[in-house]
A and B are shown apart, each in its own frame.
Chain A
C-alpha cells in the first residue's frame, strides 16, 4: 500500500506505556490530525514516525517499506516543531535552504527553491531577514517552508499553531489546509484543539490514554462518536446514563425515548446528544425540567436545564429565541435520530 502504515506501534518509558499498539493506515495525500488531551501519547507517536523516538514494539511503513530502522535524516520527511526550532544564527533564506545545502544542491538552485517557497508562504523578498525580525505568524510560515524545501514524502507538525493568538491561529489553519491540498502531501498534525482538527483534517485520530479511540472523518467523529471519551472530547455533549429493557426500549432520566433502540444485549450505557440537538418545548411534553441558567452569547444561547438532578445543556440560535429564563418550567425533547447510543 502507498502511504503510511503503523503496525502495533508501542512505546514504553520504563513501566509507563506512552503509546499502546497503534494500528493506522494513512493513504497518500491525506491530512491527518492526531487529537487528544495532553499526555495521551500523540506527540510520542509523531516523534516515532519522524524517527526521533524508537518504538519499543511494532513497525512503521512508508509505501510498504519498513522505516523503523531508518534514521531520521534518511526518512525524507519535513517536520515543524512546537518551538519551530528555526536556526537563530541563520537568516530566513539560509534557514529554508538548510536542507538543500545538506544535500549539496548548488547555490543557484537553492536560491530558486527558496524564492519559490517564500512565494508559497506569501513572504516573497524575506530571504535576507533575520529570524528575530519576524512576527510569530511569519516564523511559523518560515518553519513550514523549511520543512517543505525538499518536497518530502511526509509532512509532520507538532502543535504548530499553539503559540499563535486565536485569530491568527484560525487563519493559519485554513492556510495550512489549502497549502496541503495544493501540494497533495501526506500530512500529520498533532493538536489538542478539536476546532483545529475539524478545520483541517481528512482523518481525525482521537487518542486517549495511549490508544486510538476513534479514527474517522471529522463529521463522523462529531456525529457518531465511538465512545463517551470521544463524544466528550470533541465539542461539548450531554452524556446521559440509560437503562434498556429486553425489547431494547431505552429509558433516560425516568422517561423513555420513543424510536430509539439499544443494540441487542446492551442493558445499560450512555447516550450522547449534542446541545444543539436538544429541543426545549412547553412543559408537559418530553422530560420535565427547570431552567437553572441562561447564557446569552449573542450568536448562540446556552440554556442549562435541570432534569431529575442532571444538568442538560441546550443550544439555540437567537433566531428561535424562546424567551426562556431561569426558573421556568420546560419540556426537554431528545430527538431519537440525534442520540448516539454508547456502551459504558
Chain B
C-alpha cells in the first residue's frame, strides 16, 4: 500500500468523523470532569463552580493512599497472571487444528459477552459454602466439609482474572499465530528443551506484544468496580469503587472527579514508565 502525505484539506476527511466522536464523547466529558474536580461541593445541592484544591488534598491521607496502592497492585497482579496464563495457552492454541481454534475462540468470545454482574454473581455462587465448588471437593474426598471461599482477596483476584483472560487471549492471538513455529523447533534442534525454547525464543520474540498486552489488561482491570464489591470485603475495594460510591451515593461529584483524574494520571504514568522501559531495552 502506498502512503502519501495528505495534500489538501479533503485528504483529511476520513479522520473527521473519529475526530468529532473523540472530541464529543471523550475530550469534552473528560474536560468537564477535570474542571469539576476543582469545584466546591455544595452539601445542599450538587456543586458550585470554584477553584480549590480541597478535593485533591482530601485523598492525600493514608486511607486513600492505601486504596490507591491496593487498586494498582490488584490491577498489576491481574495483568501479570492473565499474561502468564494466556501466552502459553495461546501458543498451544495456535498449534491446534483450525476447528479446535475456532471453537476455543468462540467460547472465549462468549465469556467476553457476559456482563460483569453475571460474572460476579456466578463466582459468588461457585465460591459459596452452600452451593459452591467446595461441596464437589468434599464429594471426591479432597475436603472435610464445605467452606466459603469468599469474600476475600483470592475471590476478587479469581473473578477479575476470569473476566480479563478472554480479553488477554484475544489480544495475544493474532501476534502469536503469526509467530514462525520453526523458531521453537530450531531452538529444540540446538539443544533447548521445549520449556527452555519457549522462554528463550517465544517470550523474547513476543516482548513488545506482551508489554502492550500487560498495559491493556492493567487498564482494563483498573476500571473494575463491581467484582471487588461482590467478591471482596470493604478493604478489597478499589479506587473505582470509592469513585462510584462518592459520585452516586454520596453525591460528591468534585471529590469523585478529583479521584478519577488522579487515577488516570497515575495509570498514564505507569503506562509511560513501562513503554519507556521497553524502549530502552530495545535501544540497547
Min CB distance A150 to B, Å, is 7
| In the assembled complex, B33 has its CB within 8 A of some CB on chain A | no
Cα-based distance from A72 to B187 in the complex (angstroms): 10
| In the assembled complex, A103 has its CB within 8 A of some CB on chain B | yes
Min CB distance B189 to A, Å, is 4
Complex contact A99–B190 (CB within 8 A): yes
Choose, from B9-17, B21-29, B200-208, the stretch at the interface.
B200-208
| In the assembled complex, A89 has its CB within 8 A of some CB on chain B | yes
Complex contact A52–B188 (CB within 8 A): yes
Task: List residues 186-218 of chain B with CB under 8 A from any CB of chain A.
Answer: 186-194, 196-197, 200-201, 204-205, 207
Complex contact A85–B185 (CB within 8 A): yes
Give every chain B residue within 8 A of A50 (Cβ-Cβ).
189
Q: How large is the interface on B (under 10, 10 to 19, 20 to 34, 35 or more residues)?
A: 20 to 34
Cα-based distance from A150 to B197 in the complex (angstroms): 17
Q: Knowing A52-B188, A79-B189, A102-B191, say if A89 contacts B205 (CB, 8 Å).
A: yes
Min CB distance B282 to A, Å, is 10
Complex contact B186–A85 (CB within 8 A): yes
Cα-based distance from A5 to B255 in the complex (angstroms): 78
Min CB distance A69 to B, Å, is 15
Cα-based distance from A52 to B193 in the complex (angstroms): 12
Complex contact A102–B192 (CB within 8 A): yes
Complex contact A73–B182 (CB within 8 A): no
Residue of B nearest to A86 (CB): B186
Cα-based distance from A146 to B137 in the complex (angstroms): 52
Complex contact B182–A146 (CB within 8 A): no
Q: Knowing A83-B180, A85-B180, say if A146 contacts B190 (CB, 8 Å).
A: yes
Chain B contact residues, majority secondary structure = helix
Q: Knowing A88-B205, A89-B205, say if A102 contacts B190 (CB, 8 Å).
A: yes
Chain A contributes a number of interface residues (CB within 8 A of B) equal to: 27
Residue of A nearest to B180 (CB): A83
| In the assembled complex, A87 has its CB within 8 A of some CB on chain B | yes
| In the assembled complex, B183 has its CB within 8 A of some CB on chain A | yes
Q: Mark A75-95, 1 if CB is under 8 A from B, else 0.
A: 101110111010111000000
Cα-based distance from A53 to B206 in the complex (angstroms): 25
| In the assembled complex, A126 has its CB within 8 A of some CB on chain B | no
Give every chain B residue within 8 A of A78 (Cβ-Cβ).
189-190
Complex contact A103–B191 (CB within 8 A): yes
Contact of B189 among A72, A87, A89 (CB under 8 A): A72
Min CB distance B88 to A, Å, is 18
Complex contact A85–B182 (CB within 8 A): yes
Cα-based distance from A98 to B189 in the complex (angstroms): 11
| In the assembled complex, A48 has its CB within 8 A of some CB on chain B | no
Complex contact B188–A72 (CB within 8 A): yes
Complex contact A73–B183 (CB within 8 A): no
Task: List residues 150-206 of chain B with CB under 8 A from any CB of chain A.
Answer: 180, 182-183, 185-194, 196-197, 200-201, 204-205
Residue of B nearest to A103 (CB): B191
Min CB distance B181 to A, Å, is 9
Cα-based distance from A50 to B188 in the complex (angstroms): 10
Complex contact B192–A73 (CB within 8 A): yes
Min CB distance B197 to A, Å, is 8
Min CB distance A222 to B, Å, is 32
Give every chain A residue within 8 A of B186 (Cβ-Cβ).
79, 81, 85, 87
Min CB distance B222 to A, Å, is 30
Give every chain A residue within 8 A of B180 (Cβ-Cβ).
83, 85
Give every chain A residue within 8 A of B192 (Cβ-Cβ).
73, 98, 102
Give the 7 A-B residue pairs with the shortest CB-CB distance, closest first. Answer: A85-B186, A99-B190, A79-B189, A85-B182, A89-B204, A72-B188, A81-B182
Question: Which positions in B face A, CB cutoff 8 Å?
Answer: 180, 182-183, 185-194, 196-197, 200-201, 204-205, 207
Known A52-B185, A78-B189, A85-B183; 6 more pairs at CB < 8 Å: A52-B189, A78-B190, A85-B186, A87-B186, A87-B200, A99-B191
Interchain residue pairs with CB less than 8 A apart (30): A50-B189, A51-B188, A52-B188, A52-B189, A72-B185, A72-B188, A73-B192, A73-B194, A74-B191, A77-B189, A78-B189, A79-B185, A79-B186, A81-B186, A83-B180, A83-B182, A85-B180, A85-B185, A87-B200, A87-B204, A89-B205, A98-B192, A99-B190, A99-B191, A102-B190, A102-B196, A102-B200, A147-B189, A147-B190, A150-B190
